[in-house]
Structure 1
Amino acid sequence: MPKSVKPSVGVQFGKANTTTIKRWLVESEAREFRDWQYPNVKFRANTNRTKASVFLVLHEGGKSLWKKQGHFPAMCLKTFFNGLPQLLAKRAIGEISNSSELLTLEDLLLWYAEHVSTNTTLSKSWRDNCVSMIHKQLLPKVGHQKITEFDFICIDSLLVKAMLSAEYPPHYIRLCVNVLKRAFSAACDLRLLAVNPLAGYRVQFSLKLGPALETALTETDLTELFAALQGASRPANLLFLLMLMFGTRINETRLSRWEHFAGDYWIIPAVNAKTRQEHRLPLTPAAKALLYNFKQWQLNNVGKRSFLFCGEKDVISKRTAQYWSEQIRFKEFTSHALRKLCRTIIADMGVDTMVGERILNHALPVLLRTYVHSTLDKGVLAALEAYHQHLVKRGFVGAT
């Protein structure tokens, strides 16, 4: 290894042969493997380190192009390296197109999965769902298709109709189609593809989407809702009461720590907020009493904890929170309906629209943010106090 060059973090260097690559997969924690003799070749281990993708990396037009050559140990490394000089020579003289990094839908989808999984500006739940759809649905059904041969008929027969035959609900099929469309669109935006074969395609071409299930809650449902909350477990009761009282999202609420309730405010850290901005909610007397009573219950029945909603190790999972929501379903609705109900009621009470948007922590235009922090925050406490008193009149009773 040249003394002037240091290995990159997460990269192991050595001689790229079958024995060494197998040992690297089993014994090392480095994600990539390289051989100084072949600077254009990179091995990247999969998550469980049972195999590795083999990439040919070229620097063209001011950017790095990663072209997958296959998977180890399925491919013969000796044959690949023997043919590498000829392959590079053909690319250099243009016999192999330098612009086509992505040849199959497998190339596209694996690239897009990595592209979104490292994008922290997207919510973790969305990234996880997207990657899950890619590996569980899209790769098995359309991954083998060549991009140049993929069209509307292919997505209709190989994906939409195949999922319908497997009895997947139409709205889930639409989500899978949208992930595939976004993958093509992102690849075109980054100039990895010259043409988007799904441009203009809509899932309605292939299936009829019925109206979504009625998931709304209205103010007339409050009596039954409060009764259902009283019958739920104590942590579930608090989780969904906080969502109803403050219009918070389920993840923002689920991840709450006691340290987030400082003085007269509930502070939702930027890392927990969908908008990636810290959100401060003033605590009303009703909210303070609810939290105090729950903390005493937790100390007596669970013990001292950092999180309000504790699992076996630390905080409950999102799946557990969704399971809790089943405890309060007196009709078909989602936990997100509590947030919508909060917004509806405060709007019906005459709360200023911008104050309502501030309470729910909706993303606001940049020019309004300074105004919001300096002016609208003054009206949030008054609005929440009036709203919580309205809930009390409608039957809300904090657990004691």
Structure 2
Amino acid sequence: MPTNQLTNARCAGIKPTDKAQKLFDGGSLFLYVSTKGAKVWRLAYRVNGKPQTLVIGPYPAVSLQEARQKRDEAKAVLRAGQDPNAARKASHNAVTLDEAHTAYWSGRKDLSTSYLENERRAFEMHVQPMLGARIMKDITRADVLATLNTLDARGKHDYVRKVRMWLAQLWDWAIEQGHATENPPRSIKPERAFGKKQVEHFAALELREVPAFMDRLAIEGELQSVLALRLLALTWVRTNELRFMRWDEIDGDTWLIPAGKMKRRREHVVPLSRAAQDLLKVLKPRAGSSVYVLPAEHRPDRPISENAILALLARMGYKGRMTGHGVRTIASTWAHEHGYLSDAVEFQLSHVPENKVKSAYNRATHLPLRRKMMEDFSAWLNTKLTDAQDTSGR
């Protein structure tokens, strides 16, 4: 096949489709275009009859002309009887980004499983296709920025900041291990490099709308998602914290959430009202042998889906008006309007800032007051349900 078949215009103009694409330039060099729009130069070759791939670098950070030069250099290595990938590793005495990623994150025993899973998914989807096979010492700031810019261009302004942070942590480790000498991700200033989205608050109802909402919720019966939403309202926790609630974390009228599950990495005590305890008695036989209080319908080894409550709210006609997180807003509004101590409310919501006074680290802070507050809120919810039912005539 003739070489130098591509043009810069074609490389720049190719758009992603629902299937990955390969634009061949000849000499086994091709531009790989992912379904997400990432463009990466790759070289196909064989060693002992087995197909291999050399990742040259992302386009346009690596230009068409540079990719052809790298192709010719790799071909020369092949003619000398060496594997270009092996030769590159040996010449740098270093690891690939894939190898470093596995080594670093597998050693982070201080993080929760869900946190590690979020990082891994981000790396595999958005970083690995472009940079995974590259030697860390070869990866430049321009390479990392080009990768992150693909996320920013799609409006993922918050997400791209997380990915940059995770990569910076990985490079810090690599420098200590001698696999890199500079930290390209850390040199990228997100406040200057990336866009910002308009701040959006979680949708939540006004207090006056709660009776009609409770009335509508009662129509749904005792579906797993309904019981989950009720327990969410009776505990004021975040949706993800509720999803991963386990039976061994409950001790009578108290739920102790381990630090590894909390956003602020600190144990959190949740007082359980009588209504919450009664609801747990309903959930216990439904959970069977599952360790989770709210297991998935057909997978007891997994918690309820993260979309279960949102799907329920949409079915009830509250899409865009109410979210699972909106329960916390309603609870906070109710508590402040009823004169409860602000610190007690914030402790219950696990909103205590890190620089709070020493009492902030006492996981039982304001617990007696919080127990009363949760009982009163539970009674208020029940009153609103009764009022709504009386008004509707049911």
1:365-399 CA-partner distances (Å, limit 9, x unpaired): 693257553x62222212212332333344489xx
Give the corresponding residue for 1:390: 380
The within-5 A match list for 1:11-50 is none
Q: Which runs of 5+ in 2 are unaligned?
A: 1-51, 53-77, 388-394
Q: Does 1:177 align with 2:164?
A: yes
Q: Does 1:368 align with 2:354?
A: no
Q: Does 1:199 align with 2:209?
A: no
The within-5 A match list for 1:1-400 is 101=94, 107-143=96-132, 147=136, 150-161=139-150, 163=151, 167=154, 169-188=156-175, 193-203=180-190, 205-220=192-207, 222-223=210-211, 225-227=213-215, 229-232=217-220, 234-258=223-247, 260-268=249-257, 273=262, 279-292=268-281, 294-295=282-283, 299=285, 302=286, 304-306=288-290, 307-311=292-296, 312-317=298-303, 320-329=305-314, 330-332=318-320, 334-361=323-350, 367-368=358-359, 373=364, 376-395=366-385
How many residues of Structure 1 are paired with residues of Structure 2 in the alignment?
A: 297
SS at match of 2:186: coil
SS at match of 2:183: coil
Q: CA deviation at 1:138?
A: 0.2
CA 1:251–1:315 in structure 2 vs 1: closer, same or farther (change >3 Å)?
farther
CA 1:114–1:322 in structure 2 vs 1: closer, same or farther (change >3 Å)?
farther
TM-score by length of 2: 0.59
Q: CA deviation at 1:217?
A: 1.6
Q: CA deviation at 1:149?
A: 5.8
TM-score by length of 1: 0.58
Q: Matched residues in 2 for 1:338 and 1:120: separation?
A: 32
CA 1:394–1:188 in structure 2 vs 1: closer, same or farther (change >3 Å)?
farther
CA 1:359–1:287 in structure 2 vs 1: closer, same or farther (change >3 Å)?
same
Q: 2:157 touches 2:196 (CA, 8 Å); kept in 1?
A: yes
Q: 1:269 touches 1:277 (CA, 8 Å); kept in 2?
A: yes
One-letter code of the match for 1:388? S
SS at match of 2:306: helix
One-letter code of the match for 2:210? L
1:214-253 CA-partner distances (Å, limit 9, x unpaired): 4232434534643554355521112122222212233432
Q: Matched residues in 1 for 2:106 and 2:216: separation?
A: 38
1:166-185 CA-partner distances (Å, limit 9, x unpaired): x5744444443343333334
1:109-148 CA-partner distances (Å, limit 9, x unpaired): 5423432343232222121011111122101123355655
SS at match of 2:270: strand
Q: Which runs of 5+ in 1 are unaligned?
A: 1-50, 52-74, 88-95
SS at match of 2:181: coil
